[in-house]
Amino acid sequence: MNLRAVLLTSVPMVLVAGLGFAGPVPGMPDPVHGKDLALRLCANCHLVDNQQQQANVDVPSFSEIANEEGQTAGTIMAHIVLPKHPMPTIPLTQSELADLAAYILSLRKSE
- Residue 111 in this model has a pLDDT that exceeds 60: yes
pLDDT at 35: 98
Q: For residue 2, name the pLDDT band (cuts at 50, 70, 90).
A: low
pLDDT digits (tens, 9 = 90+) for 23-51: 566 789 999 999 999 999 999 999 999 89
- Residue 12 in this model has a pLDDT that exceeds 50: no
Proportion of the chain above pLDDT 90, given as a percent:
65
- Residue 21 in this model has a pLDDT that exceeds 50: no
Query: Region 46-74: what's the mean pLDDT?
Result: 93
Q: Which DSSP string do the residues of the chain spell out, in sequence order?
A: --HHHHHHHHHHHHHHHHHTT--PPTTS--HHHHHHHHHHHTTTTS--STT-----TTS--HHHHHTSTT--HHHHHHHHHSPPTTSPP----HHHHHHHHHHHHHTPPP-
pTM to 2 decimal places:
0.75
pLDDT digits (tens, 9 = 90+) for 74-92: 999 999 999 998 899 999 9
